[in-house]
Amino acid sequence: MDISGSVSALREKRKGNMDQGMNFKQKIVLIVMDILILIELMFSIYLGYRNQENITVIFLKTYIPAVIVTIIIGRVFIKKLRSQEVKG
């Protein structure tokens, strides 16, 4: 098998995984993640607003780490809640 055959086989495998969709529990985790990210954004803006001189530094020091942690934990939960038979 040549390289192009391997690449096309990998694409088909990934496409099959993407076509599965998400189950109900995974969708709930995604909604909770979205809400948490919005809350983190509002909180970071609030903290920056309280200290106008260092608004950028405060925003970046609070928002970026919080979002990274939220996304990592969310991905772990979504992978953990993956089922074999997912209905779209």
Domain boundaries, the chain: 21-88
Which of these, 24, 10, 11, lies nearest to 78 by C-alpha position?
24
Full-model pTM: 0.70
Would you give per-residue pLDDT tens digits along the chain (88 residues)? 566 666 666 666 666 555 568 899 999 999 999 999 999 999 999 999 998 899 999 999 999 999 999 999 999 999 999 876 545 5
Here the tokens at position 59 are: 């925003």
Q: For 46-68, write each residue's pLDDT tens digit.
A: 999 998 899 999 999 999 999 99
- The helix-helix angle for 55-80 and 24-50 (nearest 10°) equals 170
What is the pLDDT, as a whole number, of residue 13?
A: 65
What is the pLDDT, as a whole number, of residue 82?
A: 87
